[in-house]
Structure 1
């Protein structure tokens, strides 16, 4: 019985090409009390592997968070399986705005302490006492209200390439950092303002809204389904799109274009650009914005130092990386003194 992925990304990509089928990229989450996450994890892997599901799924005692792709012609089978699990029956699935057959190249189902790393002690507040969920139409009306404060619950590298008009975009590296900053900045408006939040698919706002209500905010709202569901509703209901730029996503697509606005800049030359890349130096792997001209000039590297290392033979690069470990210091997103326009 296979419980883990055995194919490399390259092998899986070749199989996708050979199959010649269109795939759907989607995401979902659900907070629920799961007694034994490991048993559920194994069940999901065994079943989804037979459906050719690929993606990254986290299972914890508090629920499940999934981002994945599957052959479009097997969607109904996948949905039918979800419906056999009581807390996932009829769950909303956020279908990606832009599709890519290779958005994911491995199936990873992992047991985690939490489905989102929020750093919170859930025993100190009622996580079920959440804010009011609003759809795209009500959201548009709310954010035009002068009594509303709109807050982006994502990290700096996400909001940099796209966000809603007039949103507060905390310059943070993690979701947990933003919670205290937002509370402190808005502490004098806990009763007289509408606190309206949004994120990619809604999961971060689920916990954040309960946390801010616990902290004394009286009028707390969250965008149902996040930016992904908002975009779908805007198109279906012919509503005004108030999102500027791209929606950052955590797969190989990196982003979905929501509007034609380019609100970011190349981190190396400062010209308008909003496509992320990873530094070609495997010991750096920095996520940053690099335009096509700089990509060519810098050989897809974030600095001259990384460019020199990346030119070395592979075995020499491996020796330089030995003992470094894969820490946040190496895989930092968009923070480097070498980037002049960040």
Structure 2
């Protein structure tokens, strides 16, 4: 029984191009008790592989977090399979605002300790005692209230290219970093202010809202479905869009444009730009913002050093990388002294 990918990303990309059929980029999450995540993981892989589903899915005892791409013609079959799983029946699906047939090129279903790395001990508080979920209309009204504190629960490289007006945007690298910082900064407002949170699709706020209620915040709200669902409701209900810029997404697109404002800048020359790229030097792979002019001048690299390495024959590049285990140290998400115009 096949429980792993047999095609490389390049091979899959070629097949997608040859097929010439539309795909849908979708995300969803669900907190639920999963007794045996490994068996559940294998079950999902077998069924979704048959439907040509691609994506990055995390399964844990606490639930599932999925970002994936499914052929449009197979959507009904995919939805029927989700509905056949008791705790996923009628789960909210966040369908991407901007579609890209190559948003994912492999099917990766992984068993993890948690579906979001939050660093919390869930046994110390009631994770089901969550904040109040609000839609776009009520969210817009709440953030106009002077008694509201609006907090972006995403990381610095996400909020840099897009965020809601007047939101607090913590300068953090990870979700777990933001939790204690926000509690400390808002400690004096636990009882007198409305704490309103948002994130990409809602999953981070789901856990954070329960955590902050446990920490003594009395009025906790979260944007239902995150920025993705907010954008859809704003369009469908003809509401004022209060989000400025792009919404960062964790696939090959790296971003969806929500409004026409460009609120970020190229990290190399400083001109207005909100296009995230990864350094072409595979030994670096730094995530940063780069305009077209700098991409051309720097050969898609973040620095002159990386540009020189990238120009070497591929086998020489492999030799230089051999034996070096940098893991996430190379994925600094814009934290590098070579980026002169990083905010």
TM above 0.5, yes or no, is yes
Post-superposition CA distance 1:13-43 (Å, at most 9, x none): 1111121210000000000000000111000
In structure 2, distance between residues paired with 1:298 and 1:131: 46
Shift of 1:129: 0.4
**Is the aligned partner of 1:139 residue 2:170?**
no
Is 2:117 aligned against 1:117? yes
Q: Which residue of 1 aligns with 2:70?
A: 70
- Counterpart of 1:150? 150
Secondary structure at the residue paired with 2:222? strand
SS at match of 1:293: helix
Q: Does 1:221 align with 2:250?
A: no
Give 2:22's aligned residue.
22
In the TM superposition, what whole-angstrom CA distance separates every residue of 1:80-117 from its partner, at most 9, and x where no partner exists?
A: 10011000001000000000001000000000000000
Task: Give the whole-Å Cα distance in 2 for the aligned partners of 1:14 and 1:340.
Answer: 37
Alpha-carbon offset, residue 328 of structure 1: 1.8
Residue of structure 2 in register with 1:178 after alignment: 178
Query: Gaps spanning 5+ residues in structure 2: where?
Result: none
Q: Does 1:99 align with 2:119?
A: no
Which residue of 1 is the match for residue 339 of structure 2?
339
Deviations 1:100-154 (A, max 9, x none): 0010000000000000000111001110000000000000000000000000000
* C-alpha displacement of 1:76: 0.8
Q: Distance in 1 between matches of 2:298 and 2:140?
A: 42
User: How many residues of Structure 1 are paired with residues of Structure 2 in the alignment?
Assistant: 342
Which TM-score applies when normalising by structure 2?
Answer: 0.99
User: Following superposition, which runs of at least 4 residues in structure 1 exceed 3 angstroms of deviation?
Assistant: none
Pairwise CA RMSD of aligned residues? 0.6
Residue equivalent to 1:266: 266
Q: TM-score, normalised by structure 1?
A: 0.99
What is the deviation of 1:319?
1.7
Asked if residue 256 in structure 1 is aligned to residue 252 in structure 2, the reply is no
Instruction: Give the Cα separation in 2 of the matches to 1:186 and 1:252.
Output: 35
How many Å separate the matches in 2 of 1:74 and 1:318?
39
Q: Distance in 2 between matches of 1:189 and 1:323?
A: 50
Offset of 1:326 from its aligned partner?
Answer: 4.0
SS at match of 1:90: coil
Name the residue aligned to 1:313. Answer: 313
Partner of 1:276: 276
- The equivalent residue for 2:80 is 80
For 1:37, the equivalent position in structure 2 comes to 37
Query: Structure 1: which 5+ residue stretches go unaligned?
Result: none
> Which residue pairs with 2:164 in the alignment?
164
The answer for the alignment partner of 1:238 in structure 2 is 238
